[in-house]
Chains A and B, each alone.
Chain A
Amino acid sequence: MKRPTRDSADSLRMITRRGLILGGAQAGFMGLLALRMRYMQVEQADQFRLLAEENRINIRLIPPARGRIFDRTGAIVAENAPSYRITMVREDAGDVEDVIARLSNLVELDPDLLKRARRELKELRGDTQVTVADRVSWEDISRVAVNAPALPGVTPEVGLSRHYPGGGDYGHIVGYVGAVSDRDLEQIDAPDALLLIPRFQIGKIGLEVKKEDTLRGTAGTKRVEVNAAGRVMRELDRKEGEAGKDIQITIDNKLQAYVNDRLDGESAATVVIDCETGDLLACASSPNYDPNLFVRGISSADYKALLENKYRPLPNKAVQGVYPPGSTFKMVTALAALEAGVADPGETVYCPGHLRVGGRRFHCWKRVGHGNVDLHRSLRESCDVYYYEMAQRAGIERISEMSRKLGLGIEHDLPMTSVSKGLAPTKEWKLESKGSEWLRGDTVNVAIGQGYVLASPLQLAVMTARLATGRMIKPRLIKSINGVEEPVEPAENLGINENLLRLVRKAMYAVSNSRRGTAYRSRIIEDAFKMAGKTGTSQVRNITKAERARGVTRNRDLPWERRDHALYVNFAPFDKPKVAVCVVVEHGGGGSTAAAPIARDVTLQALYGGEPPLTAYPERDRARIKTQQEKLRQIRPDREKDKSDRA
């Protein structure tokens, strides 16, 4: 390996030269790296430090406990029940399938949820919590907890979910809550950050949505340190929020339950209000629905069944449903005429069975006529012709004004969904909405609560309470918030001549207690609790001339949806009115046969504060009432038992 010395020397010189160039270049590059380091770590350090903190620290909202709802006696209407779910972390589980198999021996796993969970366990990062079972019962969750050593990576989680122990009793009043939907968010301008918490529940309908602000409370916050998978490593600090306020409603739980049971099987509505305070003691619409179904997320089969039921369980017929009030409107017509002085209480009108107005025959329900009728008799026997005459004398404007004074055709301010305004028609209204002149015939129809006039059961109950007291009773639903009583303003005087009101009340007493009254069969025997009422039967179809000629078809021969609505309004006790009741049975036939018996049962139940003794009923009804009471008693224990099974 000998080499000429010159070559060797040249070669070494070359290597030295190029080695220095290369070394210099490398030094230069390292200088560049140092500069970059300095730029990032010194000049931009604050910015990167902030990003690192953002990575590390998450601010989590602590959802507040929703305010509970109680009835007037303190019974729970809506509560927050613990709801359990089971989560799993792949990293900790080891063999996922093995753990799932063992878990499914302990708890029934929903196949759909499990399918999603399997996919998430496979695709998401190994330390992500995945929900494998939701809404698990307490027994299941305890089984999982006990077997924890055999179930690595499995954690039982607890949260709060709304529960309505009364089931369907309060569905129409209180409504229900549900998870926030995209549509909910769209409708709110500046959504509370709380609403973005997964599974957060807000009011969807009824009191729950109307009093959302009161019930929701404010969120607390906690700062937590999370790892890259978003799993919480530790809590740094927390600020507690404020729980939602509890609401006590005016409903009496026992009465509400009774009314719901009593109406079971009918398409009907009942409102009971306290004559002194306007408190809604019961407010039921039948059939009802179980709001708990909606909280869980109702199955499409259940929802379809609710939608397709011809008795329409979903709308609240008590405040939302409007009906022609029929003869229950006659007090309004009479008072409009008497107050105006266009008629005298003692004055009689001759009823031949019909009245001809503007070339049209208006019939009385009694074909042969009542003969001479005064105010008392006209109400007691519900003569139509008397009111045809009175209405024409008073005119529609006076009738309409009297309606509004008594609480019809106006919106009552109640925290419930779709509280109807009803309709107390005027000439102006008809011109605006129908584009035609008011006819005399229209007035005649309104006289007996047919035609354009519409009222909800709530409004009719308010009307009855106002007639009974002569004061402007306003309905209310909220008794207290967080234990602070909502003040009841003393109701103003209606400004109707008290003598006239007394005459009307006496006539209503006769309806129920005179042998010739339309509701005599549904009277109360107990002296202390005698009631005054008025029946109503409102047509939902036109009776043609031809039909009238061959005899009006009886209700029970008609298909259900063409039968008349049955109505009854009453207050009791007569001497010192305590409660006002309105019962509407859709397509129930006659007010005296379908609505009055329910109203009597409900009134007695309300006044006795429980099951009334049979002695309150007329003797011939007692046997029937006894079986009815026994039947109703049987419904409740079952329902109580259902609830304890569910919990």
Chain B
Amino acid sequence: MSYLEYTVKTTPTGLRKVLYLNWPLIILLIAVASAGFLMLFSVAGGSFTPWAAPQMKRFALGLVVMFFVAMVPIWFWRNMSVVAYIVAFLLLIAVELVGIEGKGAQRWINLGFMRLQPSELMKIALVMVLAAYYDWLPLKKTSRPFWVFIPVVLILIPVALVLKQPDLGTSILLITAGALIMFLAGVHWGYFAVVIAAVVGLVTAVFQSRGTPWQLLKDYQFRRIDTFLDPSSDPLGAGYHITQSKISLGSGGWTGRGFMQGTQSRLNFLPEKHTDFIFTTLAEEFGFVGAFSLLSLYALIIFFCVIAALSNRDRFSSLLTLGIASTFFLFFAVNMSMVMGLAPVVGVPLPLVSYGGSAMLILLLGFGLIQSAHIHKPR
């Protein structure tokens, strides 16, 4: 049976594709986004403006994008991987030249109808290009130094550009997501051991460099680390975010203070309450029950993604699905760790819940790819 035959026979075509969508995943995504709308409505003091309404419009747009991406056969997207990577790379270069300053970092390109964050696009493009690379590379070459070196370069080029913006959070996400795909593809354990050892060494070096002329991090990044390690040292200054965040979260208790009854967010004690710290508002108003439910929804999304990946019959689809799921995981894991005081405040949004257009669009685009892989897998 030729490849062509096989594909044509077992792959749904036309509108029948809709029936083969991964519907549980879509329902979970809508559930999580709805939780987000609810919280944006709440933090605006019971109003659809300025956040909930635009967010809903963007989510609807994102769903449409997801469907269109899903309808296109996965092998088209595999062939587009390198193009996507190059486009994302060029946009990252462009943001250096014409980017808009936001909170001390150059991150956006204004496209007129929306502000695009090229680093978001790069998260998907990097996963795609790595998945395509390992799809092409024979398994036995996977752990050879030269063939390990190439994906490392593919990862480090965008990381360097994102770090320059500077956006530490996204850089870490890119490196981690890239490393995870390499791990999934079967690169030898030894490489990871060496890299982890090197990172430990580097971190030591970074701390040693503080205050010297060759200081490796910006002052604000050092301060964030400081307040992460001891937030109580400066409760009204740099540690304010994390202290207030923990108070909001903890004061929720079992069942929370009730919808729109969270004093921390309503009285503005909570900073960035509609973006990075939106989870704390949810935890304050709906308590452990609400927070755990959201975490469970995220866990289910990951679960369905892993199941889908394992049932995919080709390497690209599996790696892509797992890679996007891991990126998604990294988003909410880092964000939740951050607001719970387990990680430094690095500026990672809560996926599908935090207010923000381009992050949501890109994520739904990524889920479109997962759906495409799901629809077009050999059956």
Interface residues of A (CB under 8 A from B): 1-3, 7-8, 10-12, 14-16, 18-20, 22-23, 26-27, 29-30, 33-34, 36-38, 40-42, 44-45, 47-49, 51-53, 55-56, 225-229, 233
Which residue from A8, A41, A226 sits with its C-beta under 8 Å from B267?
A226
| Least CB separation from A52: chain B residue | B251
A581 to B184, CA, bound (A): 108
Q: Decide if A23 touches B302 in the complex (CB within 8 Å).
A: yes
Q: Decide if B249 touches A40 in the complex (CB within 8 Å).
A: yes
- Given A15-B319, A19-B184, do A33 and B268 touch, yes or no (CB 8 Å)? no
Q: Decide if A42 touches B251 in the complex (CB within 8 Å).
A: no
Q: Most chain-B CB neighbours within 10 Å: which of A44, A49, A55?
A: A55
Interchain residue pairs A-B with the least CB separation, the first 6: A48-B250, A52-B251, A45-B253, A41-B288, A14-B186, A228-B268
- Interchain Cβ contacts within 8 Å, total number: 141
- Given A19-B309, A26-B302, A37-B283, do A48 and B247 touch, yes or no (CB 8 Å)? yes
B251 to chain A, nearest CB (A): 4
Instruction: Please name all residues of chain B whose beta carbon is closer than 8 Å to the beta carbon of A229 when the two chains form the complex.
Output: 268
A-B contact pairs, 14 of them (CB 8 A): A12-B318, A15-B309, A15-B318, A19-B309, A26-B333, A30-B298, A33-B340, A37-B288, A38-B288, A40-B250, A41-B250, A47-B250, A48-B247, A227-B267
Which residues in chain B, 331-353, are within 8 Å of chain A measured between CB atoms?
Answer: 333, 336-337, 340, 342
A-B contacts besides A2-B3, A22-B183, A40-B249, 12 pairs, CB < 8 Å: A8-B315, A15-B186, A22-B326, A33-B333, A36-B342, A37-B295, A41-B254, A41-B287, A45-B254, A49-B251, A52-B264, A56-B264
Which residue from A12, A19, A30, A42 sits with its C-beta under 8 Å from B295?
A30
Does B115 make an interface contact (CB < 8 A)? no
Instruction: Please name all residues of chain A whose beta carbon is closer than 8 Å to the beta carbon of B3 when the two chains form the complex.
Output: 1-2
- Given A15-B315, A33-B295, do A56 and B250 touch, yes or no (CB 8 Å)? no
Q: Decide if B248 touches A26 in the complex (CB within 8 Å).
A: no
- Given A22-B322, A37-B295, A228-B268, do A10 and B139 touch, yes or no (CB 8 Å)? yes
Instruction: Please name all residues of chain B whose beta carbon is closer than 8 Å to the beta carbon of A10 when the two chains form the complex.
Output: 139
Which residues in chain B, 164-207, are within 8 Å of chain A measured between CB atoms?
Answer: 180, 183-186
Which residue from A20, A33, A36, A52 sits with its C-beta under 8 Å from B263?
A52
| Least CB separation from B270: chain A residue | A228
Q: Decide if B251 touches A51 in the complex (CB within 8 Å).
A: yes
Does B269 make an interface contact (CB < 8 A)? yes
A273 to B263, CA, bound (A): 64
Q: Decide if A48 touches B249 in the complex (CB within 8 Å).
A: yes
Q: Decide if A42 touches B253 in the complex (CB within 8 Å).
A: yes
B144 to chain A, nearest CB (A): 15
Q: Most chain-A CB neighbours within 10 Å: which of B254, B267, B269?
A: B267
- Given A12-B315, A18-B186, do A33 and B336 touch, yes or no (CB 8 Å)? yes
A23 to B329, CA, bound (A): 10
Q: Decide if A19 touches B249 in the complex (CB within 8 Å).
A: no
Q: Decide if B340 touches A52 in the complex (CB within 8 Å).
A: no
Does B138 make an interface contact (CB < 8 A)? yes
Instruction: Please name all residues of chain B whose beta carbon is closer than 8 Å to the beta carbon of A48 when the two chains form the complex.
Output: 246-247, 249-251
B179 to chain A, nearest CB (A): 11
A22 to B306, CA, bound (A): 9
A38 to B291, CA, bound (A): 10
Does B222 make an interface contact (CB < 8 A)? no
Does B366 make an interface contact (CB < 8 A)? no
Instruction: Please name all residues of chain A whose beta carbon is closer than 8 Å to the beta carbon of B184 when the two chains form the complex.
Output: 15, 18-19, 22
Which residue from A12, A41, A47 sits with its C-beta under 8 Å from B313?
A12
Q: Decide if A37 touches B340 in the complex (CB within 8 Å).
A: yes
B71 to chain A, nearest CB (A): 22
Q: Decide if A41 touches B283 in the complex (CB within 8 Å).
A: yes
Q: Decide if A56 touches B336 in the complex (CB within 8 Å).
A: no
A52 to B260, CA, bound (A): 15
User: What 1/0 mask marks residues of chain B from 249 to 265 whose CB sits below 8 Å from any chain A CB?
Assistant: 11111100000000110
Instruction: Please name all residues of chain B whose beta carbon is closer than 8 Å to the beta carbon of A52 when the two chains form the complex.
Output: 247-248, 251, 263-264, 269, 284
A227 to B302, CA, bound (A): 39
- Given A11-B139, A22-B180, A226-B267, do A45 and B250 touch, yes or no (CB 8 Å)? yes
Does B310 make an interface contact (CB < 8 A)? yes
| Least CB separation from A229: chain B residue | B268
Q: Decide if A7 touches B138 in the complex (CB within 8 Å).
A: yes
Q: Decide if A36 touches B251 in the complex (CB within 8 Å).
A: no
| Least CB separation from A4: chain B residue | B138
A32 to B283, CA, bound (A): 16
- Given A37-B291, A38-B288, do A18 and B183 touch, yes or no (CB 8 Å)? yes
A379 to B253, CA, bound (A): 93
A40 to B185, CA, bound (A): 38
Does B60 make an interface contact (CB < 8 A)? no
Instruction: Please name all residues of chain A whose beta carbon is closer than 8 Å to the beta carbon of B263 when the two chains form the complex.
Output: 52-53, 55-56, 225
User: What 1/0 mask marks residues of chain B from 230 to 248 whose CB sits below 8 Å from any chain A CB?
Assistant: 0000000000000010111
A8 to B138, CA, bound (A): 9
Q: Decide if A49 touches B326 in the complex (CB within 8 Å).
A: no
| Least CB separation from A57: chain B residue | B263
- Given A10-B139, A40-B246, do A15 and B287 touch, yes or no (CB 8 Å)? no
Instruction: Please name all residues of chain A whose beta carbon is closer than 8 Å to the beta carbon of B302 when the two chains form the complex.
Output: 23, 26-27, 30
B186 to chain A, nearest CB (A): 4
Which residues in chain B, 262-318, are within 8 Å of chain A measured between CB atoms?
Answer: 263-264, 267-269, 283-284, 287-288, 291-292, 295, 298-299, 302-303, 306, 309-310, 313-315, 318
Q: Decide if A228 touches B267 in the complex (CB within 8 Å).
A: yes
A30 to B247, CA, bound (A): 21
Instruction: Please name all residues of chain A whose beta carbon is closer than 8 Å to the beta carbon of B139 when the two chains form the complex.
Output: 7, 10-11, 14
A37 to B337, CA, bound (A): 10
Which residue from B244, B283, B322 sits with its C-beta under 8 Å from A15?
B322
A166 to chain B, nearest CB (A): 47
Instruction: Please name all residues of chain B whose beta carbon is closer than 8 Å to the beta carbon of A20 when the two chains form the complex.
Output: 306, 310
| Least CB separation from B251: chain A residue | A52
| Least CB separation from B322: chain A residue | A19
A253 to B182, CA, bound (A): 97
A15 to B140, CA, bound (A): 14
A236 to B152, CA, bound (A): 61
B374 to chain A, nearest CB (A): 15
A451 to chain B, nearest CB (A): 67
| Least CB separation from A47: chain B residue | B250
B78 to chain A, nearest CB (A): 9
A417 to B249, CA, bound (A): 58
Instruction: Please name all residues of chain B whose beta carbon is closer than 8 Å to the beta carbon of A14 when the two chains form the complex.
Output: 139, 185-186
Instruction: Please name all residues of chain A whose beta carbon is closer than 8 Å to the beta carbon of B329 when the two chains form the complex.
Output: 26
A37 to B292, CA, bound (A): 8
Q: Decide if B267 touches A23 in the complex (CB within 8 Å).
A: no
B243 to chain A, nearest CB (A): 9
Instruction: Please name all residues of chain B whose beta carbon is closer than 8 Å to the beta carbon of A15 when the two chains form the complex.
Output: 184-186, 309-310, 315, 318-319, 322
A226 to B248, CA, bound (A): 16
Which residue from B140, B253, B315 sits with its C-beta under 8 Å from A49?
B253
- Given A15-B318, A22-B183, A52-B264, do A33 and B337 touch, yes or no (CB 8 Å)? yes
A38 to chain B, nearest CB (A): 6
| Least CB separation from A38: chain B residue | B288
Which residue from B252, B269, B336 sits with its C-beta under 8 Å from A45?
B252
A630 to chain B, nearest CB (A): 67
A211 to B250, CA, bound (A): 50
